[in-house]
Amino acid sequence: QSALTQPASVSGSPGQSITISCTGTSSDVGGYNYVSWYQQHPGKVPKLMIYEVSNRPSGVSNRFSGSKSGNTASLTISGLQAEDEADYYCSSYTTSDSLAIFGGGTRLTVL
By the 8 A CB rule, do 32 and 26 touch?
no
Is residue 48 near another protein by the rule CB under 8 A?
yes
C-alpha angle 111/107/98, rounded to 5°? 160
By beta-carbon proximity to another protein, the closer residue of 48 and 111 is: 48
Euclidean distance between CA atoms 2 and 94, whole angstroms: 11
Q: Which of 52, 70, 109, 111 binds another protein (CB under 8 A)?
A: 52
Biggest distance spanned by C-alpha atoms of the chain: 41
Does 66 sit near another protein (CB under 8 A)?
A: no
- Subset of 82-101 contacting another protein (CB under 8 A): 89, 91-94, 97-101
Q: Is 51 an interacting residue with respect to another protein (CB under 8 A)?
A: yes
Interatomic CA distance for residues 104 and 3, integer angstroms:
6
Give the interface with another protein as residue ranges (CB under 8 A).
1, 3, 34-36, 38, 40, 45-48, 51-52, 57, 89, 91-94, 97-105
